[in-house]
Structure 1
């Protein structure tokens, strides 16, 4: 079908994305004079009704959250000739999934993206909203470096998440015939519509038919972080069936070159049992940043960023930052005795962690030396005596004429 010239009141500029069921257009709102992205789903019948409900749900959640790291939804409607549409904030950039394919983000930038996406997901959880489809393709990164979590279309509030009998997959535990079961599951996930989301990033309990919870969102977030930092899925496979089978039967596939500290963090975050995972997103990010390879200054900057407000403008908390073990002093004794102090330190994130760290290792460059302080006191007395003598010299003629 030819691209439309208008959708609702919006003037279409050009298509910017294409999917199996719809298209995303760059458009302009003539009323507010701003650019928007419009997602259109070309479906009919019952599927159109479901898509409309999904768009409305996304708009309602966007209005509730109103977070700087969430894509804002402006409008929702139905075009008779096209189908349901969603008008949302236009983010000039590309998805995290595209960045992973291009491998164009360094470690520090990747961690900053994760921190911002974590803030958005945490804001949703505070409102008892479970995203249920956290994955790299649903995180946008603008050219200015701001990450935006999107697509709350299948999100649910914790009070409205019970599955109907026809929706529940009701799977038995995977046994020796797990391959056949995984294949059956893959077919049902892709054809029946019971499962909405991305199986490659879904935890085992959700694949088995359980409800989405904040713990399952945290699993999907950790799987996204794993792929971003390693370039690989935590549960690899040549197709959906193999991936599902690996999730249900196998532990996380840790790359051989991954540092042991990072491997331990991801093993916990991607544990099959939700009770074995990190209990909060900040806890996961603290451990992950602490385990990242790289200079101390990089981790210090990331801990500072992690401790800032939701909009990144100020400090609201402190975080533990494990300092590296200092080298032992040389036999010559020229090193300061303070270098022998070891152990983790607490850093107030309102300060510069690098400067705080350095100030505990050496005297401050701005601290005056004792010799300089003594000379300053001497000069003050010299100036004072000079002023007194000068005053006496000016007043001496007048005083000599006074008669008592």
Structure 2
């Protein structure tokens, strides 16, 4: 089909993404004078109805979230000739998946992207929303370096994990699964179009076995995304869907031979088969991950400082910061190595200053030897000193005045 000129009230500029199910267009909103991205799913029949339900759910869930690292949803509707469409914030940049293929991000830039994506996913979890499809292609990176988590199309609120089957946009494809084997374990995650709800390469074992997913499942997918971003390969490789699923369900994480032992231990825990064995929170995973990254100590110090900033990415005056092991052990600041022994786990959280406050600096400079700050009002001590000096001068003047008078009278 030819690309449309308009979708709803939006003027189509050009296609910016193409998939088997539909197209993403760059468009302009003539009312608000801003550019938007419009996702269109070109399907018919029951699949069209399910796509519309999923779009509505994505819009409803996204409306509950307001975070600078989340893509904002503006509108949802149906175009008669095209089908359901979703209008969202346009992010000028590339997906994290493309950056991984191009190998365009270094270790520090990759970690900063992960920190921002972590903030977005935490915001969803705090609102009792499970994303269920965290992967590199669902993280956009703007040209300014801002990471944006997107696509809540299969997300669920933790209070509504079970819907009416007639209204469930994620209804199974197989009413009577007879294929057996691992295809049967995917029955609850397949739509009527045969699409896997989520990405098998990043899905945790419990989801592949039929679980609807939990925040622990999202944390697994986030760790799998981090693994691929930092290593360039999947934690569970395979040439096809079945091989990937078998590896996830039966094999341990495939660590690269050159991966530092501490970093490998972090990923082994984050990608544990049992959800209870994984890191209980995303910040704990990121702290351990950053502390285990190879590279100069300055890099990890900058990453911890970046992680300590406000979630809207604005700087703050102080932050909780774990000193890298090299600094705690007194290693030189220009050290490029990273020890793999247990010393790095002995670092303790301390407060550091990320931005000097001129008021605080001034007050600190006025501290007395007793530890008390001098009053900021009138300096009465100085006034008393000057008053005493004036008094002594006056006394001296009155004492000398008779002698001066006699000297002036004398012929």
TM-score normalised per structure 1:
0.78
Partner of 2:289: 288
Partner of 2:53: 53
Residue 74 of structure 2 is aligned to residue 70 of structure 1:
no
Shift of 1:230: 0.3
Residue 241 of structure 2 is aligned to residue 237 of structure 1:
no
**Secondary structure of the equivalent of 2:64?**
helix
String of CA shifts for 1:134-173, please: whole Å, max 9, x gaps.
0000000000000000000110011111378985999xxx
Residue 124 of structure 2 is aligned to residue 120 of structure 1:
no
Q: Which residues in structure 2 correspond to 1:207-356 (within 5 Å)?
A: 207-315=208-316, 317-324=319-326, 325-326=329-330, 344-351=347-354
TM-score normalised per structure 2:
0.77
How many residue pairs match? The answer is 345
- Distance in structure 2 (CA, Å) of the matches to 1:221 and 1:142: 19
**Secondary structure of the equivalent of 2:295?**
coil
Residue 405 of structure 2 is aligned to residue 403 of structure 1:
yes
Q: Is the contact made by 2:301 and 2:324 (CA closer than 8 Å) also made in structure 1?
A: no
- Distance in structure 2 (CA, Å) of the matches to 1:47 and 1:220: 26
Question: Residues 323 and 29 from structure 1, CA distance in 2 versus in 1: closer, same or farther, beyond 3 angstroms?
Answer: same
In structure 2, list runs of 5 or more residues that go unmatched. Answer: 166-170, 333-344, 357-389, 407-411
- Distance in structure 2 (CA, Å) of the matches to 1:236 and 1:400: 109
String of CA shifts for 1:21-62, please: whole Å, max 9, x gaps.
100000000101000000001112211111111111111122
Question: Residues 187 and 125 from structure 1, CA distance in 2 versus in 1: closer, same or farther, beyond 3 angstroms?
Answer: closer
- Distance in structure 2 (CA, Å) of the matches to 1:239 and 1:349: 48
- Distance in structure 2 (CA, Å) of the matches to 1:42 and 1:197: 19
RMSD: 3.1
String of CA shifts for 1:271-312, please: whole Å, max 9, x gaps.
000000000000000000000011111101100111111101
**Secondary structure of the equivalent of 1:133?**
coil
Residue 8 of structure 2 is aligned to residue 8 of structure 1:
yes
Q: Which residues in structure 2 correspond to 1:95-106 (within 5 Å)?
A: 95-106=95-106
- Distance in structure 2 (CA, Å) of the matches to 1:71 and 1:191: 24
Shift of 1:181: 2.0
Q: Is the contact made by 1:69 and 1:147 (CA closer than 8 Å) also made in structure 2?
A: yes
String of CA shifts for 1:347-397, please: whole Å, max 9, x gaps.
3254379xxxxxxxxxxxxxxxxxxxxxxxxxxxxxxxxxx9xx9xxx9xx
In structure 1, list runs of 5 or more residues that go unmatched. Answer: 171-179, 329-341, 354-387
String of CA shifts for 1:89-122, please: whole Å, max 9, x gaps.
0000000000000001000000000000000000
Question: Residues 185 and 230 from structure 1, CA distance in 2 versus in 1: closer, same or farther, beyond 3 angstroms?
Answer: same
Q: Is the contact made by 2:172 and 2:187 (CA closer than 8 Å) also made in structure 1?
A: no
**Secondary structure of the equivalent of 1:14?**
strand
Shift of 1:210: 1.1
Q: Is the contact made by 2:319 and 2:354 (CA closer than 8 Å) also made in structure 1?
A: no
